[in-house]
Amino acid sequence: FSALFSNPWLWPSYLHNQAASVVTSAFVVSAIGAFYVLSNKHSEFGKLFLKTGVVFGLISSIIVAFPTGDLAAKNVVEHQPVTFAAMEGLFETQPKGSEIVLIGQPNVLEKKLDNKIAVPNILSFLTYQKWDAQIKGLNEFDEALYPTNIPGLYYAYHIMVGLGTIFIGLMLLASVQLFRKKLYGTKWILWALMFMAPFPYIANTTGWYTAELGRQPWLVYNLLRTSEGASPTVSSGNTLFTLLGFIGLYLLLGLLFLILIGKIVNKGPQTVKH
């Protein structure tokens, strides 16, 4: 039990996920508030929702990136260096400091990143606080240790980080306008807040993909491969049937959720009479 609480992965990952949950809630609340203000119904509640969502959204978006996201990434560097190299699209070890890739397409066959746009030395500084620190590229590792889906891992990670950056930027702009008492009249920000409601869900999902794709090909890292953990008594047909059942169930629950939330939002908050 003590090993669980002393696990270096536990607290950064837990706090990162909790902060991401607050981001999701804040964006949904902000979106509903923006909808009310733009449609000119339940405006007072809309302004309250916006104020609450924007403040909590800014704080939690920053916490997702730093310190929790920063600590989680440094854990990956220390304990799963090959995974970190794949996440960052780093194939070659760069002797004078590693660049951070903004855009690029992993070319696993040729072991390089195509059409990349990168900023020199930033990855080294963010990882080790040294501009010239070396970070091992994928070419330094045995291919048997590579994550099984390098492009999927790379894209999932970059989508998560990209969306997280957009969240901070949008909430910062909204907070500035809120402080200047101009938010409720700045329609493009209200439209942006309303449009962004589903994107924290996407960011959370790609974060989960990053963790799950990043630990492959291991079921228990460096101890048990995923291929060795398959049950000999459960057929592939049974597994597929169960998977399809879960997909169908979650699609049904998701549809019901959207219908119910839509009705509640359209109806609006109810004033309690004493």
Residues contacting 149, CB < 8 A, separation 6+:
213, 216
pLDDT over threshold 70, residue 93: yes
pLDDT digits 0-9 by tens, 122-161 = 999 999 999 999 999 999 999 999 999 999 999 999 999 9
Q: Is residue 123 domain-shared with residue 37, that is, in the same domain?
A: yes
- Strand positions, DSSP E, the chain: 100-107, 112-119, 218-220, 224-225
Regarding beta strands 218-220 and 100-107, do their DSSP bridges make them parallel or antiparallel, or are they unpaired?
Answer: unpaired
Buried b (16+ CB within 10 A) or exposed e, 182-201: ebbebeebbebbbebbebbe
Q: Is residue 175 domain-shared with residue 249, that is, in the same domain?
A: no
Q: Is residue 222 domain-shared with residue 248, that is, in the same domain?
A: no
Buried b (16+ CB within 10 A) or exposed e, 122-148: bbbeebbeeeebebbbbeeeeeeebbe
Residues contacting 51, CB < 8 A, separation 6+:
33, 178
Q: Is residue 196 domain-shared with residue 98, that is, in the same domain?
A: yes
Return d(Cα 91, Cα 195) in angstroms, integer: 36
Per the DSSP assignment, residues forming a β-bridge with 72 are none
pLDDT digits 0-9 by tens, 62-75 = 999 999 999 999 99
Q: Domain of residue 246: give its range.
A: 235-274
Sign of CA dihedral 94, 96, 97, 99: negative
Q: Is residue 34 domain-shared with residue 147, that is, in the same domain?
A: yes
In the block, tokens 């492959």 appear at 216
Decide which of 208, 226, 244 is a domain's last residue.
226
pLDDT digits 0-9 by tens, 255-273 = 999 999 999 999 998 776 6
| Whether the Cβ atoms of residue 151 and residue 108 lie closer than 8 Å to each other | yes
Return d(Cα 100, Cα 88) in angstroms, integer: 7
In the block, tokens 């879960």 appear at 246
Distances from the Cα of 215 to the Cαs of 4, 141, 218, 237, 265, in angstroms?
Answer: 18, 15, 6, 25, 40
pLDDT at 274: 60
Per the DSSP assignment, residues forming a β-bridge with 117 are 103
Q: Is residue 92 domain-shared with residue 204, that is, in the same domain?
A: yes
If you average pLDDT over residues 113-119, what whole number do you get? 93
Q: Is residue 196 domain-shared with residue 250, that is, in the same domain?
A: no
Q: Is residue 218 domain-shared with residue 252, that is, in the same domain?
A: no
Q: Is residue 221 domain-shared with residue 242, that is, in the same domain?
A: no
Helix (H, G, I), strand (E, B) or coil at 218: strand
pLDDT digits 0-9 by tens, 187-242 = 999 999 999 999 999 999 999 999 999 999 998 888 899 888 888 888 889 999 99
Q: Is residue 79 domain-shared with residue 155, that is, in the same domain?
A: yes
- Specify the pTM: 0.93
Identity of the amino acid at 266: N
Distances from the Cα of 196 to the Cαs of 142, 171, 222, 240, in angstroms?
Answer: 41, 11, 39, 34
Q: Is residue 16 domain-shared with residue 100, that is, in the same domain?
A: yes
Q: Is residue 206 domain-shared with residue 270, that is, in the same domain?
A: no
The total of structural domains in the chain comes to 2
